[in-house]
Amino acid sequence: MEDLKKRKLDEAGNCDFTSKEELRFLIEPLAKPQLVDLLAKLGSQYPSIAEEIKSIASADPAHRKLFVRGLAWNTTSETLRAAFEEHGEIEEGAVIYDKVTGKSRGYGFITFKNMESTQQALRASSKLIDGRLAVCNLACEGLSGTSSAPDLSLRKLYIGSLSPEVTSEMLLNYFARHGEIEEGSVAYDRDTNESRGFGFVTYKTAEAAKKAIDDLEKALGGRNIIVKYADSNKGKTGQPPFPSGVVPMAALPMSTGYMQPGKSSGPPINYNYPQTVAPYSASPYPNPHTVPSPYPTQGQIPYPPVSAKKDQHGFPPTQPVGTNNYPYYYPKQ
């Protein structure tokens, strides 16, 4: 038995360990999911590798910074940080204010000291702060975050005819019976902080939103409320709809340089004076008006005045006039 152990130790000592370059050559062709699984397995087995992974992942602030939207106008930076302290130590957190008015812009940022806290906060992305359901996502994903999902139009609802006494918390509690809510709030005036009489609710699934629309009971705060998809309020121009079967004709554009119908005064539209005229080019053919006549010209022949008399039939008489022995007749005036 002792000889077997000794032989195994000798064989291990004679083996060459794989170099770093050789390992890199083996790792490079691997796909990302394979590498993730490999590192996760090694990190769970070796604490030193786990600490190295955490250190590298937390080195970039972009992986630790959250964008928080849907904040109330009266939410301060201190209130925002207090709402996220449960997830871990915060490195930086602030509400963004307008430089001109000094009022909140309705969003802010939270940066944790490690990436683990950031991931924990993202798992509970919706958070009720000062009566409003704020939503967070990674700041590097942009300001829209989860709202850029392709099915947002089927999950976001417009709630109208709200009573001034209805708060965001009341609105969320009322619609939570249909499903889990991702985001929602009553719309408040930025200056007066009073309700504007409507709000929005975004569910996490399209099925929950449809249940809220199909629900026949739509009464909140002593009023019948309006519940419909938020996108149905977009694109309205205020023009009355055309009757069925009537195709609207587009307005014909006026050509440049022509007058508009019904307007007779003033120059044509977009008509600039003076116009530039192309120079006249000499024609290879002679102008017929400048060719000399082969016959001598004669002056006008004076005619003696005659009295206007009519014959028995009522027609003016004719009088022969001779010039150069060529008589011709003209009617008497």
Cβ contact 206:154 at 8 Å: yes
* Rounded (to 5) percent helix, strand, coil in the chain: 30, 25, 45
Q: Does the structure show a pLDDT above 70 at 31?
A: yes
Cβ contact 79:129 at 8 Å: yes
H helical segments located in 197-327 = 206-214
The CA distance from 228 to 39, in Å, is: 48
Q: At what angle do helices 32-45 and 47-57 cross, to 10 degrees?
A: 130
Rounded to whole angstroms, the maximal C-alpha distance in the chain is 167
Dihedral of CA 44/49/52/57: which sign?
Answer: negative
pLDDT digits (tens, 9 = 90+) for 132-146: 888 899 998 865 444
Cβ contact 95:108 at 8 Å: yes
Strand partners, 136: 68
What is the Cα gyration radius of the chain?
46
**Torsion, CA 90, CA 91, CA 95, CA 100, rounded to 10:** 170
- Percent of the chain with pLDDT strictly greater than 90: 40
For 20-54, give the DSSP string.
HHHHHHHHTTS-HHHHHHHHHHHHHH-HHHHHHHH
pLDDT digits (tens, 9 = 90+) for 273-330: 455 555 555 555 555 555 555 666 666 666 666 555 555 555 555 555 444 555 545 5
Cβ of 327: how many Cβ atoms within 10 Å? 9
Q: Does the structure show a pLDDT above 90 at 254?
A: no
Cβ contact 112:99 at 8 Å: no
pTM of the model: 0.54
Cβ contact 57:115 at 8 Å: yes
The CA distance from 325 to 271, in Å, is: 61
Out of 9-23, 80-94, 152-166, 290-304, which region has the weakest mean confidence (pLDDT)? 290-304
Nearest to 69 by CA among 252, 240, 239, 202: 202
* pLDDT number for residue 117: 93
In this prediction, residues 32-51 reach a mean pLDDT of 91
